[in-house]
Chains A and B, each alone.
Chain A
């Protein structure tokens, strides 16, 4: 299987290159279960986190351990934007985005009980990979909807077109699928 070598804050990994749609393959970063990588990335991102940031927000689910570790290291609270509305949520706020990995509409939901951590706060988005930025746009709208201000975006990687609006530890190209 084709792999793509990366070095993330001193931790080396061979990312499998997998086809995710017709004509598109991506290097697959999986933070779930990779404690060493998550902790190293969190340490490096903690050093780059603007001091003004008051709250971290992360989309379910792959970036959740990263947000947890970053929160532990910086003392800033984090909230998780869920992919589904839960029956127990109180006054949830929602946005729909199109996911690059699935090509399908994806819901982003903020539980009303987490709103006080976002309203009137400077918020940093934490994600594993920022690609087209659709999740980013949805999260930004969620933050602004409830009266918060997006003041930074932190990710392990940017992907595809390089972008300078994201604090990242590296960049991933897109790949042609193998024939």
Chain B
């Protein structure tokens, strides 16, 4: 397998990340935040500049963006809530939200325990994700926030990819590379 890489820069941090073939002839740089403290901290610092001061809670989801939300929380003092991608045995009366994923053609489900959802009622929430691609996931996350009674005041992503026109604040564009 070829291990071509592509440079991705956030602030002063550059990573030469592997290119993976997602479809025949289509390759995308694969970025992993988990395990990379330096990259996460750079992204957290940069995203916090766009965090509306009226934000009460950060809202993120499993798995990779958790460390980003934790770092932003640690730096800003704002608490965060994690929406799960699987039902946990202890959940009571959870909010269950389907993800519409046109590109992958698979359905996914988000879960938020009612005890977590209660914290968001009447609060200003900023969504935090690692990458916005088709937008299906962050739109589902927004629906969870609204169903919990929160007001979404910002949509923050470390990376953006593709042609979607969603109103998202992001740090770096990830290209979709077509091989001849």
The residue from A28, A61, A72, A78 contacting B66, defined by CB atoms under 8 A apart: A61
Given contacts A101-B88, A102-B89, 20 further A-B contacts (CB under 8 A): A18-B90, A20-B90, A28-B90, A33-B116, A35-B80, A39-B74, A60-B63, A61-B62, A64-B63, A65-B67, A68-B34, A68-B70, A68-B71, A69-B70, A71-B37, A77-B35, A78-B35, A79-B35, A88-B20, A90-B1
B71 proximity list for chain A (CB < 8 A): 68
Which one of A79, A88, A90, A101 has the highest number of Cβ atoms from chain B below 10 Å of its Cβ?
A88
Given A61-B63, A64-B34, are A33 and B81 neighbors across the interface (CB < 8 Å)? yes
The closest CB in chain B to the CB of A17 belongs to B90
Inter-subunit contact A68/B67 (CB<8 Å): yes
Which one of A32, A90, A101 has the highest number of Cβ atoms from chain B below 10 Å of its Cβ?
A32
The closest CB in chain B to the CB of A34 belongs to B79
B41 is an interface residue with CB less than 8 A from chain A: yes
B148 proximity list for chain A (CB < 8 A): none
The closest CB in chain A to the CB of B58 belongs to A33
Inter-subunit contact B82/A32 (CB<8 Å): yes
Q: CB-CB contacts of B46-87 with A at 8 A, as 1s and 0s?
A: 000000000000000011001100110110000111100000
The closest CB in chain B to the CB of A68 belongs to B67
Chain B contact residue count (CB 8 A cutoff): 26
**How many angstroms from the CA of A88 to the CA of B28 in the assembled complex?**
11
A21 proximity list for chain B (CB < 8 A): 89
**How many angstroms from the CA of A102 to the CA of B88 in the assembled complex?**
8
Q: Which residues of B contact A (CB under 8 A)?
A: 1, 18, 20, 30, 34-35, 37, 40-41, 62-63, 66-67, 70-71, 73-74, 79-82, 88-90, 115-116
A38 is an interface residue with CB less than 8 A from chain B: yes
The A14-72 residues at the B interface (CB cut-off 8 A) are 16, 18, 20-21, 28, 32-33, 35, 38-39, 60-61, 64-65, 68-69, 71-72
**How many angstroms from the CA of A125 to the CA of B152 in the assembled complex?**
37
Q: What 7 A-B pairs are tightest by C-beta distance, nearest first?
A: A18-B90, A65-B70, A32-B82, A35-B73, A68-B67, A88-B20, A80-B34
B125–chain A nearest beta-carbon distance, Å? 13
